[in-house]
């Protein structure tokens, strides 16, 4: 059984985000970049399915400039077998375009399971997995917190507003991962060396027959407003009083 994992290179979660002075975008100059944490959970889940003997091959795919090769190699160090880099240069891509590119890879590779992070921590769109499932006409299970695959069926526990929902789905399917699905491993340093030798295939939007029509335009980026200084109150009565009369929230 083949698993395809789509991953995204984003600003590292530990970096303080800065907005460009012209508000056109987030400033990525010299910023530390790494794999989107939800994508990391997706890779980890694929590796665990392979270690459990459920999956036989893990393919990772990522879209972007040459730098995403490093993110693909990180996934290989975690245990992915081979990679596909879709060289889209520096173009800004909308979730739909990304889903269209990934759909072409799904078509060519015919995986039984496609794993994605539920969203990327840069734009937090939470759309690509759903769009990909629709384009491929695959069943989808988003926000997965437990994935079990047996007898050509997937049982997925999803985190929903009211609690947990359990779905049973036929393969092939699309799963997007939530935070509590697993805790990704620390890569073993010798495995990083092995990642160097794993095959990495290059594709382009042209070779996949997808035109980059960007349906989304970013107009302006602004930093969140600065938090105002708080006040100390002596006791609960004073707290209730100021919530009622100053903050007017009670």
Partner 1 sequence: MIRDQEILNILLDTIERFVRERLIPLEQEVAESDQIPESIVTEMKALGLFGLSIPEEYGGMGLSMEEEVLATMVIGHTSPAFRSLFATNNGIGSQGIVMDGTSEQKAHYLPQLASGDLIGSFALTEPDSGSDAASLRTQAVRDGNHYILNGTKRYITNAPEAGIFTVMARTDADKKGADGISAFIVERGTAGLTVGSIDKKMGQKGAHTADVIFDNCRVPVSQLIGGREGIGFKTAMKVLDKGRINIAALCVGVSERMLDDALHYALERKQFGKPIADFQLIQAMLADSKAELYAARSMVIDAARRRDAGQDVGTEAACAKLFASEACGRIADRAVQIFGGAGYLAEYGIERFYRDVRLFRIFEGTSQIQQLVIARNMIRAAS
For helices 37-51 and 68-78, what crossing angle results, to 10°?
Answer: 30
**14 touching partner 1, by CB under 8 A:** yes
At 124 the three-state DSSP class reads: coil
Type and span of the H or E element at 157:
strand 153-160
User: Which CA distances in Å does 107 have to 9, 73, 136, 190, 212?
Assistant: 23, 23, 8, 34, 19
Q: How many residues bind partner 1 (CB under 8 A)?
A: 16
Contact call for residue 16 and partner 1 (CB under 8 A): no
* Min dist. Cβ of residue 196 to partner 1 (A): 5
We find the least distance from the C-beta atom of residue 146 to partner 1, in angstroms, to be 24
**Minimum CB–partner distance for residue 106 and partner 1 (Å):** 26
User: What part of residues 31-50 is at the interface with partner 1 (CB under 8 A)?
Assistant: 34
> For partner 1, which stretch binds (CB under 8 A), given 85-93, 186-194, 203-211, 222-230?
186-194
Q: Which two tokens stand for residue 62?
A: 């990522």
- Is-contact 61 6, C-beta < 8 A? yes
Decide if residue 188 touches partner 1 (CB under 8 A). Answer: yes
Choose between 189 and 219: whose C-beta lies nearer to partner 1: 189
Tell which phi-psi region holds residue 88, choosing left (phi > 0), alpha (psi between -120 and 50) or beta.
alpha
CB of 195 to partner 1, least distance (A): 7
Q: Given candidates 25, 51, 70, 206, which one binds partner 1 under the rule CB under 8 A? A: 70
DSSP-assigned letters across all residues of 175-212 = EEE-TTS--PPPPPHHHHHHHTTS-EEEE-HHHHT---
Answer yes or no whether residue 77 interacts with partner 1 by CB under 8 A.
yes
When binding is defined by CB under 8 A, the residue of 29, 189, 229, 247 that contacts partner 1 is 189
CB of 76 to partner 1, least distance (A): 9
| Cα–Cα dist 111/85, whole Å | 17
Site of interaction with partner 1 (CB under 8 A): 14, 34, 69-70, 73-74, 77, 186-190, 192-193, 195-196
């Amino acid at each position: 059984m083949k698993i395809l994992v789509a991953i995204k290179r984003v600003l590292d979660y530990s970096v303080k985000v800065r907005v460009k002075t012209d508000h056109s975008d987030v400033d990525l100059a010299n910023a530390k970049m790494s794999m989107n944490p939800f994508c990391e959970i997706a890779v980890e889940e694929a590796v665990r399915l392979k270690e459990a003997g459920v999956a036989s091959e893990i393919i990772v795919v990522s879209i972007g400039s040459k730098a995403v090769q490093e993110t693909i190699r990180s996934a290989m160090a975690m245990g992915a077998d081979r990679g596909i880099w879709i060289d889209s240069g520096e173009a800004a891509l909308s979730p739909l375009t990304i889903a269209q590119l990934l759909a072409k890879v799904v078509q060519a590779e015919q995986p039984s399971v496609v794993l994605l992070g539920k969203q990327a921590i840069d734009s937090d769109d939470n759309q690509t997995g759903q769009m990909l499932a629709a384009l491929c006409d695959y069943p989808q299970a988003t926000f997965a917190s437990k994935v079990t695959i047996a007898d050509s069926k997937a049982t997925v526990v999803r985190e929903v507003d009211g609690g947990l929902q359990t779905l049973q789905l036929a393969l092939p399917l699309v799963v997007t991962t939530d935070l509590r699905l697993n805790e990704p491993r620390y890569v073993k340093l010798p495995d990083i060396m092995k990642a160097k030798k794993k095959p990495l295939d290059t594709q382009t939007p042209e070779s996949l027959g997808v035109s980059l029509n960007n349906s989304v335009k970013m107009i302006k980026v602004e930093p969140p407003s600065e938090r105002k200084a708080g006040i100390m109150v002596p006791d609960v009565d004073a707290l209730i009083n100021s919530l009622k009369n100053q903050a007017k929230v009670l």
